[in-house]
Structure 1
């Protein structure tokens, strides 16, 4: 649990049992419901010993893992785990739909709308809105964690793989590279990203994948990264030492696609890592010291500590470490939901207003997205319902809980827990070593 002093400055996080004891004794009050933050009433930061914590970030396209942990002699102990679910896909789809509607107005018999030409230059470092959203939401949550915990360092996965470990033209350095262990993880992580974690020959997913030489080594093929791909066990055994031209002679389109992708693999790597580099630059400009590492090293760390695969555990294993002594049994899943639409009308498929929405988003003191608790005393919906509310001007609200949606709750039974902030919150069990 996060702890603040009486002036709102962050202290060392504490255990849930200690937080409950402080609340029962009246020494603390609830500062925020989710994530749960308490504020002490009788202590200042100057009166406490603050060790400090570090934040690990594993950026992803759909999910970003964030872990708060303590460090001592390259040993880490997880304190808090958070999975941030992005909505970049919905942003992309809405922008595409908007562009399609605007183009459609020019071809249909409707009011003419002149096209807007792309004659404006974009600033340096510009990202598409769906990609910039990942950077903005991650930076927002790092800023929140810095307000609730004494963050002294940030570790982030800047690249999915270390291209230095893949280069055949530069000498590899470091004992891990010399032994080849870490380099092998970098190669595999690169191939998994480049080939979409599927067999290049049959497209199978969710099965064990082997590293296959496109041009067999027994026929003069090299071990360069441009000559490697992924193949499932049946395809790998069927191909064996057969030249790829002979193996795929009945599938010329697939042969051309594999050879084309293998020609310039590092170009795709730059596009895949663009968002992570933008996030790293933003962290460097505003936050505490930032240490970076690659996804290959993260996977190598997990294999040494025996940790299962998850976004938050990847964040806990980012960077240089020797061991991980433990992590939280549960994690908070934060879903980016947005703050609603600006439009006050809903159009039909022709673009004409179908209905008019109320100008005010707040009804009876509540707004859609607020975290509430409803205590219904009688009736079919009797009980306690905790979740996000969907408001109506009639005063009968819907509440979305982890068990589903409960409709028609009178606003008189609803109490605020937390105002809407553009995110939805759920909890789930963290992966276990025995899973």
Structure 2
């Protein structure tokens, strides 16, 4: 499928006539705008005839499914574009690392700096950076589809989760009912530490009081950097066991482990209205209808039509045309991966001999290449995952599979497309 823009840069219906596209490019009547998905722009006036296109969006916390379908002609509904997008999940760890570096730097340079944690005010509608990044990625994915197709309708699937009921099922407790939803587990306690000590009976969960140490500490099962201060990540330990554990002298019982976190369910509860309202705000003034659907409707539609469980197939069901077929009955899917666009950390934390800090990253351009550029090597397309000043690069596929064990010289590579924040690979599934 080749996606087409008119002379003014507005999307019109895509074409399957690849021979005509080659002729237009050869005669200078069209130019290539994007390589994957392959998009051209016409350089002469044309009839801007379009059809009604429905864009289904399967929102998620790790993957986004997207499918654009049209009713088509007498042969039935057609799939015009489908993609499976993998989101970033490293924002929390990167921000935690930056916070550690900032505090260490302040302690080194301005040891007695006055506290300044009460002079900030968050704007209305503020979202955590990890959530905001995923919401922005959802909006970008929808915008990219609307740039290459004349979409007339957008259907978004959102999901709401009962976190208290899910948590009760994981811990084997009674499900809350009625007013119990307003009475959380920490009701009546001053802080989390007081609740954890009470929950554990003020007894060390490692030695069960055999050490006779009366001083109790609250220990993070997972590091606070990744696990947070949630009660299910905290356990009571006496100071003897706590100190011994961090020195590597004490091993905690295997029964002490954190229950499955509900990060994905929490994210969907936070982002669903923020994403849906933003889509309405952007596309309704453009004359595009925006609607919402729910997961149970999508599941019923998929099972009724006997379709497999995939993110892009769920999006096809959301678009209201689950029976839509691909051209030539070959399922063509674009697998995309969101990557970071910038890295502003200047130096690494490790200090070498002589007090020299090593630079954290290479220059912006190395031999004319950026990180995550699309390149060609031995007739196949890859992405630049690592660069060295010597000109030897680490190139890989979208899945992260290396081409070979060693690096490859830039002289053997051909630049196809500069990095745009998304790694895109076209695959024919069937």
Both structures adopt the same fold (TM-score exceeding 0.5): yes
Distance in 2 (CA, whole Å) between partners of 1:148 and 1:135 is 21
Alpha-carbon distance change, 65 to 116 in structure 1, aligned in 2, over 3 angstroms: farther
1:238-253 maps to which residues of 2 (within 5 A)? none
C-alpha RMSD over aligned residues: 3.8
2:301 maps to 1:301: yes
137, 158, 166: which one aligns with 1:195: 166
1:275-424 maps to which residues of 2 (within 5 A)? 275-287=271-283, 288-318=288-318, 321=320, 323-327=322-326, 329-348=331-350, 354-356=357-359, 360-374=363-377, 383-389=378-384, 390-401=386-397, 403-406=401-404, 407-424=406-423
How many pairs were matched up?
A: 330
1:31-180 maps to which residues of 2 (within 5 A)? 31-42=33-44, 44-45=45-46, 47-71=47-71, 76-87=77-88, 89-103=89-103, 111-112=110-111, 114=113, 115-157=115-157, 159-161=158-160
Alpha-carbon distance change, 128 to 365 in structure 1, aligned in 2, over 3 angstroms: same
Alpha-carbon distance change, 323 to 296 in structure 1, aligned in 2, over 3 angstroms: same
Distance in 2 (CA, whole Å) between partners of 1:299 and 1:70 is 21
> For 2:50, what is the secondary structure of its paired residue?
coil
> For 2:133, what is the secondary structure of its paired residue?
helix
CA contact (8 A) 1:385 1:401 kept: no
Alpha-carbon distance change, 270 to 419 in structure 1, aligned in 2, over 3 angstroms: closer
> For 2:15, what is the secondary structure of its paired residue?
coil
Unpaired stretches in structure 2, ≥5 consecutive residues? 182-231, 233-263
Unpaired stretches in structure 1, ≥5 consecutive residues? 162-189, 203-212, 216-220, 227-256, 258-267, 375-382
Distance in 1 (CA, whole Å) between partners of 2:321 and 2:422 is 35
Distance in 2 (CA, whole Å) between partners of 1:413 and 1:269 is 46
Distance in 1 (CA, whole Å) between partners of 2:402 and 2:174 is 49
Alpha-carbon distance change, 299 to 194 in structure 1, aligned in 2, over 3 angstroms: farther
Shift of 1:372: 1.2
Alpha-carbon distance change, 404 to 191 in structure 1, aligned in 2, over 3 angstroms: same
Shift of 1:194: 5.5
TM-score, normalised to structure 1, is 0.65
> For 1:367, what is the secondary structure of its paired residue?
coil
Shift of 1:391: 3.3
Shift of 1:156: 0.3
Distance in 1 (CA, whole Å) between partners of 2:304 and 2:163 is 20
Shift of 1:155: 0.6
Distance in 1 (CA, whole Å) between partners of 2:165 and 2:373 is 41
